[in-house]
Homo-oligomer: A and B are copies of this chain.
């Protein structure tokens, strides 16, 4: 018999996907260039030409048996070593290649990290607003995701709520900075306080509490913002990375886990990940893209468009009366809706061909997410639609 649990999941269609499909359908009516589609977090700039050149070079000059051969299940040793060195140089860490486990993107990294440090029934805490896919990521592993309510003032951490929810059942805390959907970067102060609380509670409970840090937006930081590296603040930390956003290759599914060398049983964890892979069917990540990104660790796509877009939208929206925490990075922002019901707000916005995602699935009611990874000229054309929308639907603001 087919398994009902997965069949049942098909009934609940993702809000983001529904909006994206609406945008596509509307695009067929009026031209997609006239639909201001802020629904999807897909990079909007191409991979750097250097990366294409690297791949061409690999295809032309590397022995195909080496290029397309099985990677070891932990990843190609030279690639793991290069990733470790790059992280050490940038963040003052002490990784060796043995602390790096190559994965199929951040989703793969998180899937392994969760299984390393939680048994079915254990709890994992995350913080609103949060990436909705964390629910299936965690819950289908058998662990339980609990969401700490947002600190809506600045989308740093609501520490009172956190301390209350950090019970003995919690084996891991999952953070995402720079954050999807808020665009906020956790400050060093925030991470230090988080680490202090986790350290104290772990001691009190007599068991480790791991920090799983999801960092696909680490490279997308705006002027004046430094992104603190969470693993530098807490020993029991697993840093989960994807090259999807920084190099604009989300389809190539390449990322890694970096295991803090100071964490409990650090010498076992990457090898445990390889055991987990045998069960989940990952096995080794694709070899050619491993070799390619290892040569591109200092490269990014031209990420400047995201800051340009953010500035335009932040100014216009705050001028129009929106309240919004200013993003420090990513390609998202998370303004407050102009009425309590974000779903109703976003429904009205559709009349103006503005595709905005209501905040409810991110764990905070009354906000909306905008993914501004779209062309700047389209962002500029959207401003008139925003003005029309607000003035018509919310004339008293």
Contact = CB atoms under 8 A, between A and B. Distances in A.
Interface of A: 1-3, 6-7, 9-10, 42, 44, 46-47, 52, 55-56, 59-60, 63-65, 67-71, 103-105, 107-112, 115-119, 133, 136-137, 139-141, 171, 207-208, 248-254, 264-265, 268-269, 271-272, 275-276, 278-289
Given A7-B268, A117-B2, A287-B252, A137 B278 contact: yes
A103 B118 CA distance: 26
Contact of A6 (B1, B64, B272): B272
Given A104-B282, A107-B281, 11 more contacts: A3-B119, A6-B115, A47-B64, A68-B250, A68-B251, A108-B283, A110-B281, A140-B276, A141-B279, A254-B286, A286-B286
Given A116-B2, A288-B252, A140 B279 contact: yes
A282 to B, nearest CB: 7
A104 B109 CA distance: 15
Contact of A269 (B2, B64, B283, B287): B2
Contacts of A252: 68, 286-288
Contacts of A115: 3, 6
A123 B129 CA distance: 41
B278 A133 contact: yes
Contacts of A279: 111, 136-137, 139-141
Contacts of A59: 52, 55-56, 59
